Chains A and B, each alone.
Chain A
Amino acid sequence: MSMSSFIDDETLREYISESLEHLADIEQDLLTIEEGGAEIDEEVVNRVFRAAHSLKGGAGFLALDTIKELAHKIENVLDMMRNREIVPNPEIINILLNSFDKLRDLINNSDTSNEVDVDEFIVALVGLTTAHLAPTEQESVSNLVPITRNNGNIIFEVPEIDLAQAKKGAQSLYLLEYDLIHDVYQHGKTPMEIIKNVMDLGTIIESLVDIERVGTLDDAPINSIPFYMLISSIIEPVVAPDFLDLPEEKVLLIGYNGQQQGGSAQEPEQAQEATPTTETPQTAIAPEPEPQATPGLKEMPAQETVPPQTPKKPTRTPKTDKTAPPKESCKIEAPSSLRVSVNLLESLMTLAGEMVLSRNQLLQAISQQDQHSIKLSGQRIDLVTSELQEAIMLTRMQPIGSVFNKFPRVVRDMSQKLDKEINLVITGKDVELDKTIVEGLNDPLTHLIRNSADHGIEKPEPRVAAGKPRAGKIDLKAYHEAGQVNIEITDDGNGLDAEKIADKALEKGMITADQHKAMSQKEKMALILLPSLSTAEKVTDVSGRGVGMDVVKSNIDQLGGQIEIDSEIGRGTTIKIKLPLTLAIIPSLLVTVGEERFAVPQVNVSELVRIGAAQVKERIERVGDSEVMPLRGELIPLIRLDLILGIKSTLANPETGEKIDDRRQMIADRRSPTTAIDESLNQVPGEETKVKARSGHDRRYMASSDLNIVVVSAGSFKYGLVVDDLHDSVEIVVKPLGRHLKHLSSYAGATIMGDGRVALILDVGGVAKLADLISMAGSQRAQDLTEISEESRSKDRQALLLFGNGTKEPCAVPLDLVERVEQVKYEDIEIKSGQKVIKYRGGSLPLFALSDVAEVTELTNEQELVVIVFTVADREIGLLASQPVDTVEIKAVIDHDTLRDTGIMGSTIIKEQTTLVIDIYELVETLKPDWFKRLQKKDARRKEAQRQDITNNTDTPSEIKKILLVEDSDFFRAQLKKYIDDDERQCVPTEDGLEAWNWLQEHPDEPSLIITDIEMPNMDGFELCYRIRNDSRFDHLKIIAVTSLAANEHIAKGKEVGIDDYQIKLDKDKLLASIDKHIQ
C-alpha cells in the first residue's frame, strides 16, 4: 500500500524544510530558558513548544511516527514548563537539547526515521514528566485513553496526561475528521496548510491518516481518505467548524474522558479514566452537548460502511507501526534551496524587465545607426546591469547569525565538560554575508571558539587566583568596516605566549635563530598559523587533537579572508577575521608585467607608490638579499612580480616605444651590491640603447622607467609588488581555475576581461609565500633594528611643513599641527581694531605673522602669500607665510639655542638651508595671552602668592612639582619639556620606558605625574604603565599618554593598562590642561 497517491514528495519536502527552520533557533531558545531558570519567559518557552508542536503535527500526517512520538514527549515537558510545573535546570535542558538533536537527525533522514530506536530519549522525557507530576497524576503519562465516537469506534488512543492538560487549561477537545480528498485537495489546499491552520487555533494532541481504510479499498475507487486530528482549543464549539473550515458534522466535541459529547452518547468500552466522568469542568465551553455534532453522526456511518473499523490495539512502539514508512526515497539536503523575500524577487523582475526594454532600444538604435541612442541605451544597460547584479547578490546574502547561533550550545557543552564557567557574548548576528562565506565560516569559527573555551579560558580557581572574575568571557562579534565584514573572537583567558610559539617554530626549524631574535610580537604570534605548530600543551578531546590553526587559516584563506591574532599573556586573545562581503564579484586593480595582465583584489591593496626614475636610488634600499622601500617609517619589502613568477619582463625603449626583452639578472644571481632595480636603470639593455647611450636621453629620467609599486597587505605583513604598469580598478567576476591549476598558491582564480581575454587574479598571500616573505620580513627587521642601534638614536623622523617667510628665511612647522594651507592675496588682508584678518569660510580668520613677535623680515605684497591655518586654544588662526610650500620627512635635529626667538623654537638644516622651526603656540600666547585661561589662572595664582608674600612677609617658596617625561624622540622630548617647565613644574626627561622605570625605582616618591609616549624602544608605554599600575608604591600617580595620533585601539588598550588620559603630543593647550587636571 502506498501513500504516495496522496502524500506527494512536495508535502514531505515542505515539512522537512519547515521543520529544519523551526529547529534552527531552538538551541538558542533553550539556552535562554536555561539561563532564566525559574524566571520563565513564557514567550520563549512557547516558541519552543510551538516548534515541537509543528513537528509533531506534520509528522502525524506523514506517518513519521518516531518523529511524532519524540516531538510529542518533548512537547509534554515544555507544556509543563510553561505551566510552571517544571522548573528548567541544566539537566532538563540537556535532555531537551539532546532530544531536539535527535529530532533533527530523524528529520534529515525522514525516510528511515521510523526504524530508529529513540527509546532512550522517550524514557528520559517521560521520566521528566512523571517526576514533576503529583503522585496521583503520574500514571496519566502512561495510561492511554481511547478516543471513542458515539458509534463506538475508537479512532486512536492518547495518553491521559494530554487530556488532563487540556482540562487544566479549560480547553475543549475536538476530534476533527478531514477528508484529504474532499476537504483538502479539492479545496486547493495542501495538508500542511490545514495542519498549520489547526495549529493556529489550538493544540494537536494526536493525528492519524486512516491508511487502513484506504488500504482495504484496493479494488474500489477511493473516494475519501480520512485524516483525524484530536485537538484541544479554547474555541467555542459553536464557531469551531467555521474556524476550522469543516462541515459541522466533522467537528466532534470530545469529553475529557475520551468520549464524544453530545448526541446519543453510547456507552463505549470502558476507558480508563483518571479524570472524573463529570466532564463539566470549570467552564461552560466543553460541557454542553454539541447540537451540531449530532447530524454528523447520522452521516458518519454512511461513509464508513465498507470497513467496519476494528478497535485498534494500542501500538505504542512506532517501529512496528502498521502505517509502515510510506516513502521509498526522499532524502533531502536541507540547504539546497534558499528563501528570498518577495520584495527582492519583485525588484529583480522589474530590473529584468528594464533590461529587456533597454536591449530592445539598443537593437533598434543599432539598426538605425543612431549613435546618440546607442550611447543612451549603453548607459542604461550599464545602470540596469549594476542594479541587477546588486539585487542578485542580495539574494545570496545571509545573516551570519545562522552560524553564530550554534555557539552558545558549543560553549555551554564545553564548559560543562571542562568544568569551566564561560559566558559567551554575541553581537552582530544580523550582519549579512554571501551564503557560501557563511557556510564556509562554520568550521573555522567552531575551531576558534573551541580553542578559546578549551585553551584560552582557565578554570575558575586559577582565574580567581589571578584576580580575574570566576567566569571567563568570550566575545564573538561581527561588524562592517570599510566594505568588509570583520569577525572578532575575544577571550579573557590566559593568552598566547608569543615567545613559546617562536621557540617552538625555532625548534622545528621553521625559522632561524636570527629571525627569532628579530621578529616582532605580532609576527611571532602569526607563526601559530603555520602548519604543524600548535601550542596546545596537552591535547584534549574537546578542541580537537591539536589540529593547528593552519587549518583555520587555510579555511579563511579560501573565503578570501584574512586572519590576525593579538594576544597578551594572562589577559586574553583576540582573533580578528576580515572577510569580503561576497566572493563572486570583487573590485580589483589591474596591473601589467611585460605582456601579462593581472588583477590584484582591491581589499589587499593598501596604496600605490610611483617612484620617479631619478629617485629610485634614494628611495629603494637593499637589506641583505632583498630590496626594501622605506615608507613612513616602515620598511616595505619589495617583490618583483616578474621575477617571482618567472615572467620575461620587457622594457619599453624610450625613443621608439618598442618593447625589448629585459635582460636584468635575477636577484639570486646578483653579486654586485646594487639592486636589481638600479641595475634595470643603469644596465644598457641591448645594442640599440648602447648607440643611444650618449644621445643625452638618460633613460632613467623617462617616465617609463618610473617604478610602480602596489603596496599590498596580506594578513599581518605588508609588501610592495613591483609591476610595470598600473591600470584601472574594475569589478571582476571570479572564475575558478581548472583542477591542475587550483593548487597554485599565487593565484586566487581567473577572470574574463572586457576584451574577452583571460586575466589571472593574484593571491597576495600566496605570492608572499612564493617569495618566502615570512623569512624576509624577519631578516629585514633584524637589519632594521641593527641600523637603528647603530645610528644615533636621538634622531627621529619628523614630518614638517616647509614655507617661506619672505625669500630669505625658510621656515618649518610640524605638519601634525597644520589644519590647512590657503592661498591669499595681499589686498584681501584687512585690519580690524588692530588685528589682521581675512574673510574665511563665512567668518574672520585672525592672521599673525612671524614678524609680529620675532626679529624677521616682514612679508610684503611682493611675495605670493599663503595662510597656514592652525587651531590654537580652540580657535582657528592663520599664519601668514610665503610660497613655496612643501612637506618633508626628515630626521630633525633641532638646535634650540642659536636662532632661538619668541615664536621660534630653534633651527634645523633642511635641504642644505638653515630653517627656522616655528612654535605656533608660543607665538599666539605672546600675542593673545587673554585667549589662554590657563595663563590667566597662573597669573592670578602668582599675584595671590605675591600678595600673601607681602602680607605675611614669610618666605614660602611654592613647591616645585616634578613630572616624569618618557619620550624617545629627541624632537618631542625637547618640545614637551619646554611646554612643561615653568616656575612650578620641573620636567624629568627620560628616553624610554626602561630608563623611566629605573629612575622611578630610585626616586619613587618624587614625581607627581607621568607623561609617556607609547611607542618606544626597550620598553613601550603600555608595558611601563602596566608595571607602574602593578606596583602599589605608585598608586597615587596619574599617567598621561601622548601620541602623535590618537588611534582608538591605542586608547582602548591604554585604558585597560591604566592610562588616565590621552593627549596629542603637540597640542600644547590641551596637554597643559590635562596636566593641570591630573597633577597631584
Chain B
Amino acid sequence: MADTTLQLCSFQLADALFGLDTMLVQEIIKVPEITKVYQAPEEIIGIINLRGRIVTIIDLAIKLDLPTEVEIKNRRIIIVESDNEPFGLMVDYINDVIHIDGDDLDPAPANVRATQGRFITGVFRNEEQLIAILNLDEIVNQIEKKVD
C-alpha cells in the first residue's frame, strides 16, 4: 500500500527513540548560540537566529521529561514549522530516516506516561526497537503560557 508509506526522521532522546514525519522537518542544525529568554516557559530553552528569523527552541528532553546527559553542544535541533511559525526541537542524536508502512503503526501503549502520552500519535515496532511517533502540533501547542 504505497499510499500509507511514511518516512520518519528518527532521533534519540535519553534512551528512547522517536520519529517525526519527514514532511514536517525543514532542516536539522547543530546547536548555535542560544539566547535564553528569562520568564519563558521552562521547556523553551531560548531563541536563535536562523538566517534572519527568530526561532523559538523547545527542549524535547524537558518537554517529554526525559533527562539527558548529552552535552548541549553535541545535541541537534530539528527545525519544524507549525502554523507558519518555525520552531526548533532540541534532541540528542539524529538517527536514520526510515520508511514504514502506515498500517504497521500501533496506538500508543497504555503504559506510556500521561505527560508523554498525548504527544505521541502511535508507535512503530522495528526489529529491535520501538519508535514513538511525535504529534508535532500537540507539542507546540501544549506549552503553558505563563501569565505574568
User: Quick check: is B125 within 8 A (CB to CB) of the other chain?
Assistant: no
CB–CB A757/B54 < 8 A: no
How far in angstroms is the closest Cβ of chain B from A473? Answer: 42
CB–CB A745/B148 < 8 A: yes
Q: Which of B38, B40, B54, B147 contacts A758 (CB 8 A)?
A: B54
CB–CB A757/B56 < 8 A: no
User: Quick check: is B87 within 8 A (CB to CB) of the other chain?
Assistant: yes
Among residues 33 to 62 in chain B, which have CB atoms less than 8 Å away from a CB atom of chain A? 33, 35-41, 44, 47-49, 52-56
User: Quick check: is A1003 within 8 A (CB to CB) of the other chain?
Assistant: no
CB–CB A759/B39 < 8 A: no
CB–CB A740/B40 < 8 A: yes
CB–CB B37/A744 < 8 A: yes
CB–CB A737/B54 < 8 A: yes
How far in angstroms is the closest Cβ of chain B from A931? Answer: 64
Segment at the B interface, from A161-169, A746-754, A891-899 = A746-754
Query: Chain A: which residue is nearest B43 at the CB level?
Result: A740
CB–CB A743/B145 < 8 A: yes
Mark contacts of A715-747 with chain B using CB atoms, 8 A cut-off: 1 yes-contact digit, 0 otherwise.
000000000000000000001111111011111
CB–CB B52/A752 < 8 A: yes
Report the Cα distance A740→B39, complex, angstroms: 11
Query: Chain A: which residue is nearest B144 at the CB level?
Result: A740
CB–CB B37/A741 < 8 A: yes
User: Quick check: is B71 within 8 A (CB to CB) of the other chain?
Assistant: no
Query: Chain A: which residue is nearest B57 at the CB level?
Result: A738
- Which residues of A are found within 8 Å of B49, using beta-carbon distances? 752, 756-758
Q: Which of A738, A739, A744, A758 contacts B39 (CB 8 A)?
A: A744
User: Quick check: is B96 within 8 A (CB to CB) of the other chain?
Assistant: no
CB–CB B44/A740 < 8 A: yes
Query: Chain B: which residue is nearest A753 at the CB level?
Result: B49
- Which residues of B are found within 8 Å of A744, using beta-carbon distances? 37, 39-40, 146, 148
CB–CB A596/B39 < 8 A: no
Query: Chain A: which residue is nearest B87 at the CB level?
Result: A738
CB–CB B52/A740 < 8 A: no
CB–CB A645/B33 < 8 A: no
Q: Which of B33, B41, B53, B148 contacts A756 (CB 8 A)?
A: B33
Among residues 104 to 148 in chain B, which have CB atoms less than 8 Å away from a CB atom of chain A? 143, 145-148
Listed A/B pairs (10) with beta-carbon separation below 8 Å: A645-B39, A737-B54, A739-B83, A740-B40, A740-B143, A741-B40, A743-B145, A758-B47, A758-B54, A770-B148
Given A738-B56, A738-B85, A743-B145, answer yes or no on A760-B35 (Cβ-Cβ < 8 Å): yes
CB–CB B54/A746 < 8 A: no
Mark contacts of B59-79 with chain A using CB atoms, 8 A cut-off: 1 yes-contact digit, 0 otherwise.
000000000000000000000
Mark contacts of A630-656 with chain B using CB atoms, 8 A cut-off: 1 yes-contact digit, 0 otherwise.
000000000000000111000000000
CB–CB B33/A757 < 8 A: yes
Q: How many A-B residue pairs have CB under 8 A?
A: 69
Report the Cα distance A741→B46, complex, angstroms: 10
Report the Cα distance A596→B47, complex, angstroms: 13
- Which residues of B are found within 8 Å of A736, using beta-carbon distances? 54
Report the Cα distance A737→B37, complex, angstroms: 10
- Which residues of B are found within 8 Å of A750, using beta-carbon distances? 35, 47, 54
How far in angstroms is the closest Cβ of chain B from A721? Answer: 14
How far in angstroms is the closest Cβ of chain B from A243? Answer: 54
CB–CB B54/A596 < 8 A: no
How far in angstroms is the closest Cβ of chain B from A645? Answer: 4
CB–CB B47/A741 < 8 A: yes
Q: Which of B36, B41, B55, B145 contacts A596 (CB 8 A)?
A: B36
Report the Cα distance A479→B35, complex, angstroms: 38
How far in angstroms is the closest Cβ of chain A from B49? Answer: 5
Report the Cα distance A378→B75, complex, angstroms: 37
How far in angstroms is the closest Cβ of chain B from A357? Answer: 24
Given A738-B54, A741-B56, answer yes or no on A645-B145 (Cβ-Cβ < 8 Å): no
How far in angstroms is the closest Cβ of chain B from A1025? Answer: 45
CB–CB A743/B38 < 8 A: no
Report the Cα distance A737→B49, complex, angstroms: 11
Report the Cα distance A741→B83, complex, angstroms: 15
Report the Cα distance A735→B49, complex, angstroms: 10
Report the Cα distance A743→B44, complex, angstroms: 14
- 8 tightest Cβ-Cβ pairs between the two chains A and B: A738-B56, A645-B38, A758-B35, A735-B54, A752-B49, A757-B33, A750-B54, A758-B49
Report the Cα distance A758→B53, complex, angstroms: 10
Report the Cα distance A744→B37, complex, angstroms: 9
How far in angstroms is the closest Cβ of chain B from A33? Answer: 48
- Which residues of B are found within 8 Å of A752, using beta-carbon distances? 49, 52, 54
- Which residues of B are found within 8 Å of A746, using beta-carbon distances? 38-39, 148
How far in angstroms is the closest Cβ of chain B from A744? Answer: 5
Query: Chain B: which residue is nearest A742 at the CB level?
Result: B145
Known contacts A645-B39, A758-B35, then 13 further A-B pairs from the complex at CB < 8 Å, ordered by chain A residue: A646-B38, A738-B55, A740-B41, A740-B44, A740-B56, A745-B148, A746-B39, A752-B49, A756-B33, A758-B47, A759-B35, A760-B35, A770-B39
How far in angstroms is the closest Cβ of chain B from A172? Answer: 60
Report the Cα distance A746→B148, complex, angstroms: 9
- Which residues of B are found within 8 Å of A646, using beta-carbon distances? 38-39
Given A756-B49, A758-B48, answer yes or no on A747-B37 (Cβ-Cβ < 8 Å): yes
How far in angstroms is the closest Cβ of chain A from B48? Answer: 6
Given A750-B54, A752-B52, A756-B33, answer yes or no on A740-B38 (Cβ-Cβ < 8 Å): no
Report the Cα distance A752→B51, complex, angstroms: 10
- Which residues of B are found within 8 Å of A760, using beta-carbon distances? 35, 37, 47
For A746, A756, A758, the residue with the greatest tally of chain B CB atoms inside 10 Å of its CB is A758
Among residues 758 to 786 in chain A, which have CB atoms less than 8 Å away from a CB atom of chain B? 758-760, 770
Given A738-B56, A740-B143, A741-B47, answer yes or no on A757-B35 (Cβ-Cβ < 8 Å): yes
- Which residues of A are found within 8 Å of B83, using beta-carbon distances? 739
- Which residues of A are found within 8 Å of B38, using beta-carbon distances? 596, 645-647, 746
- Which residues of A are found within 8 Å of B53, using beta-carbon distances? 735
How far in angstroms is the closest Cβ of chain A from B142? Answer: 11
Q: Which of B48, B56, B147 contacts A743 (CB 8 A)?
A: B147
- Which residues of B are found within 8 Å of A756, using beta-carbon distances? 33, 49
Query: Chain A: which residue is nearest B48 at the CB level?
Result: A758
How far in angstroms is the closest Cβ of chain A from B140? Answer: 8
For A646, A736, A740, the residue with the greatest tally of chain B CB atoms inside 10 Å of its CB is A740
- Which residues of A are found within 8 Å of B52, using beta-carbon distances? 752
- Which residues of B are found within 8 Å of A737, using beta-carbon distances? 37, 47, 54, 56
- Which residues of B are found within 8 Å of A770, using beta-carbon distances? 39, 148
Report the Cα distance A760→B33, complex, angstroms: 14
Query: Chain B: which residue is nearest A770 at the CB level?
Result: B148
How far in angstroms is the closest Cβ of chain A from B119? Answer: 16
Report the Cα distance A737→B36, complex, angstroms: 13
- Which residues of A are found within 8 Å of B40, using beta-carbon distances? 740-741, 744
How far in angstroms is the closest Cβ of chain B from A950? Answer: 86
Query: Chain B: which residue is nearest A739 at the CB level?
Result: B85
Report the Cα distance A746→B56, complex, angstroms: 17
- Which residues of B are found within 8 Å of A745, using beta-carbon distances? 148
Report the Cα distance A752→B48, complex, angstroms: 9
How far in angstroms is the closest Cβ of chain A from B52? Answer: 7
Report the Cα distance A487→B92, complex, angstroms: 53
How far in angstroms is the closest Cβ of chain B from A1012? Answer: 47
Query: Chain B: which residue is nearest A595 at the CB level?
Result: B36
Q: Which of B33, B44, B147 contacts A741 (CB 8 A)?
A: B44
Report the Cα distance A154→B2, complex, angstroms: 68
Report the Cα distance A743→B143, complex, angstroms: 13
Query: Chain B: which residue is nearest A759 at the CB level?
Result: B35
Query: Chain A: which residue is nearest B53 at the CB level?
Result: A735
- Which residues of A are found within 8 Å of B146, using beta-carbon distances? 744
- Which residues of B are found within 8 Å of A747, using beta-carbon distances? 37
Report the Cα distance A757→B33, complex, angstroms: 6
How far in angstroms is the closest Cβ of chain B from A755? Answer: 8
- Which residues of A are found within 8 Å of B39, using beta-carbon distances? 645-646, 744, 746, 770
Report the Cα distance A757→B32, complex, angstroms: 9
Report the Cα distance A752→B50, complex, angstroms: 10
How far in angstroms is the closest Cβ of chain A from B45? Answer: 12
- Which residues of A are found within 8 Å of B41, using beta-carbon distances? 740
How far in angstroms is the closest Cβ of chain B from A95? Answer: 46
